[in-house]
Copies of this chain bind each other. A is one copy, B any other.
């Protein structure tokens, strides 16, 4: 049995066997253990030991699966360490989607070197899969599935399944195709088990099925898998021929990537075309992803700068006003970003739609009012304490404190309303609500903040 603590005991046992050079025993144990744990264990060993242990395994299929679980760096290192002939065998047994990913990352020269060692079937499979753009159904699909013909009887279908022997859980659906590989439906293994051996496959056929187009965006594919609760979704080309499947664990990966992109967008970071690893991305690439918004917002902040400059005379007369500008800006930015976060998440979890806009704005207005009320008292206190020795022409300290606190409250209410309505507006124009980025909201509400602040000061204090 494996669990966190038990996994550690198992690991110690493996390390011990390795130290005692009891390799046969070790290999026997490794063959029984889950791929991911074996891969983790092997990755920690010296490359030479790793290669020896990996190639001694009698199960060719798990060699491929374990290799696929290594990170890119280790894969590249091993690729150069192992002879092309031995590597071709491991390569052939890799899951087809990971295999194509690996192949795509090889240089043209290395690709040409490897190809002669592959069987015709594997060669074709790799080249076909590598041709689809990443981030599409074709780019993430696998070719590891079982097909049957609708005129077969159940017994024949089970025999065909034994032959195709798709790995692991890809066995759950059997795709029913015609002579032209066009998909006509599917049967589940459960259907076959429940049916009589001499019954026709056609009698259990589900011809009302969900599929993905080969060029469909990976996000949309993941959403279909989630919506229809599928273990895997068939992928069809323009001629409705079955060319691959995308499984639920690929969908989970897509959801994780999407999550990162959403958060990046929201923080004003431009997501890269391809998924990038933090450490492997060069500093310059990191810089490029971040500079657009940092500079863009800096330029946009000329506007709030202009407003402050317009009131320079006012500030010279009453320097104390300048001291509270950051407070107004920060609180507005925080309140606006929070409201945007809440609305963006509720949209992406489909808890709200555009039709609810009035209810959302009303609810946010109430929340904003409560926040503004709290901050009013705090700001009044803050000004009264920090500026207690300040001389203010013609006005008492309390009038000043009241003016600033009122401006802050108004700013929090306006910012919350802007922060919550901006994602809705962007969605309304078919954009991605996550683009209503937190830094953008901060910059926008800086402008309203300065307008409110100086207007209030002029009205109340001059």
Tell me if A459 counts as interface (CB < 8 A to partner B): no
Chain A, interface size: which category? 35 or more
Copies of this protein chain in the complex = 2
Query: Is the CB of A172 closer than 8 A to any CB of chain B?
Result: yes
Q: How many Å from the CB of A425 to the closest CB on chain B? A: 17
Question: Which of B193, B255, B266, B327 is the one whose CB lies under 8 Å from A189?
Answer: B193
Within 8 Å CB of A312, what residues of B? 319-320, 323, 390
Query: A317-360, CB under 8 A of B: which get 1 and which 0?
Result: 00110111111011101110110011101100101100010011
| Distance in Å: Cβ of A280 to nearest Cβ of chain B | 8
Whether A294 and B329, one on each chain, are in contact in the complex, defined by CB atoms closer than 8 angstroms, is no
A333 touching B34 by the CB < 8 A rule?
no
Name which of A301, A334, A337, A442 has the most chain B CB atoms within 10 A of its CB. A334
The stretch of A53-61, A83-91, A203-211, A394-402 that contacts the partner chain: A203-211
Give A237-290 interface residues, CB cut-off 8 Å to B: 248-249, 251-252, 255-256, 259-260, 262-264, 266-269, 277-279, 283-284, 286-287, 290
Q: How far is the CA of A207 from the CA of B29 in the complex (A)?
A: 12
Q: Would you call A193 and B161 a contact (CB within 8 A)?
A: yes
Given A208-B32, A290-B371, A302-B382, also A278-B352 (CB < 8 A):
yes
- What residues on B are CB-neighbors of A338 within 8 Å? 267-269, 290, 293-294, 439
Q: Are B226 and A298 in contact (CB under 8 A)?
A: no
A21 to B437, CA, bound (A): 50
Partner of A297, one of B268, B330, B341, B390: B330
From B320, B329, B390, give the contact of A330 (CB < 8 A).
Answer: B329
In the assembled complex, A19 has its CB within 8 A of some CB on chain B: no
Among B1, B291, B334, the residue within 8 A (CB) of A442 is: B334
Contact between chains at A264 and B330 (CB < 8 Å): no
Question: Considering the complex of A and B, which 9 residue pairs feature the smallest CB-CB distances, nearest first?
Answer: A322-B322, A278-B346, A283-B366, A267-B341, A287-B370, A278-B351, A334-B439, A259-B259, A286-B367
